[in-house]
Structure 1
């Protein structure tokens, strides 16, 4: 995966989309557009909605619409390549210069489930609609929007039904070799699209300029607001670190319960510690395992846990058609304060399930991923917050969302694995600063340390917690009380201490796997020191040593 090329594409695409959306809004709200009474009256309600949203918050509105179209194009390209769509929706080839789905539709082959105005579609194809400069392009846009809305039934989080005004703001050019659609196809190679990680990387790259802006404002002593916390704190975790943490938590628990399992053969970074305590949570079947990422981002940790659980279920003889649904229903849980990130995590797990079982969409199963909302202050505190009662939630929350969110925030899991947000006390807004000082006085200096403490509240006794954090908790005097608390009450089973830039950031970090079990004189851990020269050109570890 050429990450530098993907970053260049995502950042330039964001700027281009923002420019196109802004130009389109100005055109729709212009006097010139109103003069075309027939067209204006057709879209009068949607235009009024655009005017209202634009007046309230210009920048946020433009950003929202721009990201909506970026998100759908990226998702559909991934689905095209992996043959999840019945026919390529946006993808083309040298032999097929326009998307195959459009070619088929022009020939009369249109999915009956699509809610498409067929009469208008074919009038456009036959050039019977006056005042349209590019009839084919308008017809394709109709097909594209109808397809997105169809997928909203299968993946309501990723393909949330598009508002009428958003449809009007779809970029004009969708078919030419220079269109945004074509740029997405070119940037996302078929090879890159074999890995669901590409979706998360593109999102991190897409918001990278906003992240830079947040930190520029922080230097001017402007605190990080709840709405900017996601952009300021999200950091994609290298895949080998994810594997290391998941294999030595989820994989470890399964191996302790099933020492003859062949799972170990599939875990490259698994540490077989002979000094491991003989006291562990008893797990008989895969369905009993529970795994949580409380800061799940785009779902990178959860998708690898899905892979590992699939191997466990297969080894136990479960039906291939049942495994994806069982994993999503029974085993995996995640949450995030960022709506976009939680949507991507939902999409990533759904894609995993669909790739594993072709008829998965026939099942009414949704991932246990939730955007944290509906409680006063939760966009500031995230999964640090524990609701005290049902009354904490807004009445408007849907039943499933409420139950799932409450379960995640109040339950104990077998394994908690995450890359928590990094934010020092100087960047915290007043409400967040006061909250962590009151609830987590030993770790208040940075959010990553606060999440270290919170993580132990979310796992069962003898369960595992794995986090990739800044290294400062191991050395600085400000974390002395935290160190004493952690080392007195919990056992480290393994740690990879990463030097500067190993994570792609200019400070050291540590990937630590804890067991919620008091250490004794026989407790032993396995430690690794990882330097930059221990990585290959793809930033993957050559070997643990």
Structure 2
């Protein structure tokens, strides 16, 4: 039990002695902060006064993120951070406020924290302290107890110090205790993340706008309709966020609710915004400085007032749960990534209909890149290139995302550069000459001028995407980042000073086009294009669009999360096969992006992307692998032992430098498990180069190579045997009995099983164990074409080895043609005539051996201890098998010994289940363990392992 420190005991005593004075309404909130709340959190280890001199964005505590509520400026008083990441808010009230009963303070706090996507936050007046779970959507009708998971008074602080320290101290946050507590207190029911809620909100807007605009503007094409709806939504979001951030007058949109012809009034606000911001988002007239054509379409539309009343009403306190000042561009990007997965279609009657895009449907949804992935890639590419440079040198860096989507990587890159510049300038002694770069704001802290933020954005950040809407969203996110931390006074002062509008025009930086297809595709006389296909292809000329960059050798950094397996038209496939020199297999778009990215990189430039791990493992992609191994320096590969995205794709971050690999270059390998534990080792790149373009395995540590080399030279299991997944059960609509699986309640069989010859004994995963099947005449399946996937090729009537799918290592037994096996099992049968004389029990002993378990867990699929670990067919296929030569005396002797040992194991595992005394079971278990050891010893001999190598296997951990 952790004892409360002396300063906490003194604070409690002090408050007790003078409680009446502190509860007097004249006692100010600011006094409370200085006398009680600041010392309270100092005792929890937080550097409240920034004694370390950290840059503003990296302070332990950030004060008063400006927020507007009901027309007045309010803020969560404290934002506690860790390395720039917001952890929790603390909202302070003076003691005269009754936190336990007054609804408004808890509603305010929960709106702050929910909008910022923080799990927990604290409301306190020191007399009381309430901890709130912030993951449920706040409603104005909520009670003070809604979401409240802890309530203390000042009298509890000493006794509850253990809880307070182990949850909210800086030490607890550093050690992950805060995150664990947040997870354990999470209530699954009713939990709605802000991005899910806001996605639902703007999807409602899209449907309302699309249907009304299509109805009232019958001459619009489907492309014009999509464009108009997107522009209207983007402009409303931008202005509403600008209001809460102080860049626009609060409530200007809300005032439209009392007016007629709301859309025309809204257009006037947008035109004023054009004068202020100069952003392409508000571009309604021709200007010499902007090469893109203005929007002359949307101002001419007819839209009824009721649509905007419904939209705008839900954007303001108290009806709105959103606090747009803390709704970050990163969260907005997540929302938009999902939003862009659907598109508006027009029916024959010119009615609007919202549909999922075909490519999204094929992929099973939209998968947004988590922020920690973005930050890691940015740190290991842009971070490395910025090291030891001056701002002048950093300004020369050109950073590209060639499939930018909603802009998450470009936003991460821009945020990194903003922080880098601010830290650099803040550390300079002579700041007087930096008036164009920084200025001193509240609390005497330095900030980048909006001029400098614009310069950095225009100099460094570039992106391309085939989706026009995605391009506009990327621009929107970046522009909102420029405005972050700004207010109207600062904007107006800087506009007067620099005589330029507030935001940059990103038309030359973020472009719409197909990164993989150049206009050369149209030169092929054999290809014919429809108008729709021309629009879909959207060929992009890199030399024209980014001429200066390409003339100077290309981009310094290319980052992102390219599309995997995207749909390509026949014409695109033909073009790519004739143009991309490294492709020699069925096309996958992420590999095309790798090739294109390396081509567009400068010498010594850095590539950083999160991609599937098949680029290292697929046998059919030798050309690109050979090129990468021999012509680039692979800096780092970070492999995740969990699914980063909702899709079941094994992914890894690859950091690659465009440079010839040095002779002794070591590739750093990081393996990250679901608990974020990192296992690190190095691999010599020359080992991969020596393999040419052959597949390589990142789990193969240096000390494993002598063992794996012996194993990899042997035949693979799938070269010798058929490996088939079991039967997938009944599928509705295929016209067989209503129940194809039957647990038999009586013995003998119930009548319809007894009389139906289609019923066969079924083995499920839970019934199968190492060397043993536990089936008691109790599970059957009606087997035939009516099943979802019968998988006749599994050859159920032949003798077979069965391997269980669930688990972190292979577990196998043998079946002599009795069972149909379920789809959570694999059936292995002989496929080569010359192997018919090999007893399957020999193969079974090898599969169940310690050596194969080690090879599986250390080399093929390190998921040891994972709750949802699965043995995949692709991994089973790679099991190396020592095929005995039965004409060889030594081989034959080892073969016969293995068959005998496995026979013993099968019999012992049968006998132990029918043993009637504990003594007999214990005796048999000892025999099983001893026989298992004999099999392991024999396998080590078969594979030629030395004593040192055996020790490595036995010490697998």
TM-score (norm 2): 0.39
TM-superposition CA deviations, 1:268-324 (whole Å, max 9, x none): xxxxxxxxxxxxxxx972222221122222222222222222233331555223421
Q: Does 1:496 align with 2:638?
A: yes
The answer as to whether partners of 2:564 and 2:588 remain within 8 angstroms in 1 is: yes
SS in 1 for 2:260: helix
| Aligned mate of 1:304, from 394, 406, 412 | 412
Distance verdict in 2 for CA 1:139–1:87, change over 3 Å:
farther
Distance verdict in 2 for CA 1:6–1:286, change over 3 Å:
closer
Looking at structure 1, the residues matched to 604 and 260 of structure 2 have their Cα atoms a distance apart, in angstroms, of 60
The answer as to whether partners of 1:497 and 1:510 remain within 8 angstroms in 2 is: yes
Superposition pairs for residues 263-302 of structure 1, below 5 Å?
285-302=393-410
Q: Does 1:149 align with 2:271?
A: yes
Matching residue of 1:330: 459
The answer as to whether partners of 1:496 and 1:530 remain within 8 angstroms in 2 is: yes
Matching residue of 1:87: 250
Q: Does 1:438 align with 2:578?
A: yes
The answer as to whether partners of 1:443 and 1:450 remain within 8 angstroms in 2 is: no
Matching residue of 1:275: none
| Aligned mate of 1:18, from 187, 198, 207 | 207
The answer as to whether partners of 1:204 and 1:236 remain within 8 angstroms in 2 is: yes
Q: CA deviation at 1:486?
A: 0.8
Distance verdict in 2 for CA 1:8–1:194, change over 3 Å:
closer
Looking at structure 2, the residues matched to 15 and 187 of structure 1 have their Cα atoms a distance apart, in angstroms, of 15
Q: Does 1:313 align with 2:313?
A: no
SS in 2 for 1:525: strand
Distance verdict in 2 for CA 1:7–1:355, change over 3 Å:
closer
Q: CA deviation at 1:336?
A: 1.7
The answer as to whether partners of 1:437 and 1:444 remain within 8 angstroms in 2 is: no
Looking at structure 1, the residues matched to 636 and 201 of structure 2 have their Cα atoms a distance apart, in angstroms, of 41
SS in 1 for 2:473: helix
| Aligned mate of 2:233, from 70, 73, 82 | 70
What CA RMSD, in Å, does the superposition of the two structures yield over aligned residues? 3.8
| Aligned mate of 2:380, from 248, 251, 255 | 248
Superposition pairs for residues 407-422 of structure 1, below 5 Å?
407=548, 412-422=554-564
Looking at structure 2, the residues matched to 155 and 499 of structure 1 have their Cα atoms a distance apart, in angstroms, of 46
TM-superposition CA deviations, 1:393-423 (whole Å, max 9, x none): xxxxxxxx99644446665111111211222
SS in 2 for 1:326: helix
Q: CA deviation at 1:429?
A: 0.9
Distance verdict in 2 for CA 1:10–1:191, change over 3 Å:
closer
Superposition pairs for residues 50-449 of structure 1, below 5 Å?
50-53=217-220, 56-57=221-222, 60-90=223-253, 98-99=254-255, 136-138=258-260, 140-153=262-275, 154-161=277-284, 163=296, 168-173=301-306, 179-185=310-316, 189-190=322-323, 193-209=326-342, 212-215=356-359, 235-255=367-387, 257=388, 285-314=393-422, 315-316=424-425, 317=428, 319-320=437-438, 321=449, 322-355=451-484, 358=491, 359=494, 362=501, 365-367=504-506, 368-373=508-513, 382-385=514-517, 404-407=545-548, 412-423=554-565, 427-440=567-580, 441-442=583-584, 445-449=587-591
The answer as to whether partners of 1:443 and 1:482 remain within 8 angstroms in 2 is: no
Distance verdict in 2 for CA 1:155–1:496, change over 3 Å:
farther
Q: Which one has the largest radius of gyration? A: 2
Looking at structure 1, the residues matched to 591 and 518 of structure 2 have their Cα atoms a distance apart, in angstroms, of 17
| Aligned mate of 2:598, from 453, 456, 470 | 456
TM-superposition CA deviations, 1:191-223 (whole Å, max 9, x none): 6744111332222222334584515875xxxxx
Distance verdict in 2 for CA 1:251–1:148, change over 3 Å:
same
The answer as to whether partners of 2:377 and 2:653 remain within 8 angstroms in 1 is: yes
Query: 514-523 vs 146-155, which deviates more?
Result: 146-155
Looking at structure 2, the residues matched to 81 and 487 of structure 1 have their Cα atoms a distance apart, in angstroms, of 50
Looking at structure 1, the residues matched to 453 and 204 of structure 2 have their Cα atoms a distance apart, in angstroms, of 38
| Residue segments in structure 1 that go unaligned for 5+ positions in a row | 29-49, 91-97, 103-133, 219-230, 262-282, 374-381, 392-400, 535-541
Looking at structure 1, the residues matched to 201 and 418 of structure 2 have their Cα atoms a distance apart, in angstroms, of 38
Q: CA deviation at 1:450?
A: 0.6
Looking at structure 2, the residues matched to 488 and 290 of structure 1 have their Cα atoms a distance apart, in angstroms, of 25
Q: CA deviation at 1:387?
A: 6.3
The answer as to whether partners of 2:643 and 2:651 remain within 8 angstroms in 1 is: no
TM-superposition CA deviations, 1:364-396 (whole Å, max 9, x none): 7333423235xxxxxxxx1224568xx9xxxxx
Q: CA deviation at 1:363?
A: 5.5
Distance verdict in 2 for CA 1:544–1:68, change over 3 Å:
farther
The answer as to whether partners of 2:458 and 2:504 remain within 8 angstroms in 1 is: yes
Greater relative CO (CA pairs within 8 A, separation 6+) = 1
Distance verdict in 2 for CA 1:432–1:173, change over 3 Å:
same
- Which structure: greater helix fraction? 1
The answer as to whether partners of 2:367 and 2:647 remain within 8 angstroms in 1 is: no
The answer as to whether partners of 2:463 and 2:510 remain within 8 angstroms in 1 is: yes
Distance verdict in 2 for CA 1:17–1:334, change over 3 Å:
closer
Looking at structure 2, the residues matched to 88 and 478 of structure 1 have their Cα atoms a distance apart, in angstroms, of 60
The answer as to whether partners of 1:443 and 1:449 remain within 8 angstroms in 2 is: no
The answer as to whether partners of 1:385 and 1:409 remain within 8 angstroms in 2 is: no
SS in 1 for 2:607: strand
Distance verdict in 2 for CA 1:417–1:409, change over 3 Å:
same
Looking at structure 2, the residues matched to 169 and 10 of structure 1 have their Cα atoms a distance apart, in angstroms, of 25
| Residue segments in structure 2 that go unaligned for 5+ positions in a row | 1-116, 118-134, 136-191, 285-294, 344-354, 429-433, 439-448, 524-541, 681-957
SS in 2 for 1:468: strand
Q: CA deviation at 1:240?
A: 0.8
TM-score (norm 1): 0.66
Distance verdict in 2 for CA 1:254–1:445, change over 3 Å:
same
The answer as to whether partners of 1:141 and 1:174 remain within 8 angstroms in 2 is: no
Q: Does 1:485 align with 2:648?
A: no
| Aligned mate of 2:672, from 523, 530, 545 | 530
Q: CA deviation at 1:81?
A: 1.8
Q: CA deviation at 1:252?
A: 0.8
The answer as to whether partners of 1:335 and 1:372 remain within 8 angstroms in 2 is: yes
Q: How many residues align?
A: 417
Looking at structure 1, the residues matched to 320 and 407 of structure 2 have their Cα atoms a distance apart, in angstroms, of 22
Looking at structure 2, the residues matched to 19 and 144 of structure 1 have their Cα atoms a distance apart, in angstroms, of 17
SS in 2 for 1:325: helix
The answer as to whether partners of 2:262 and 2:305 remain within 8 angstroms in 1 is: no
Q: CA deviation at 1:253?
A: 1.8
Q: CA deviation at 1:439?
A: 1.9
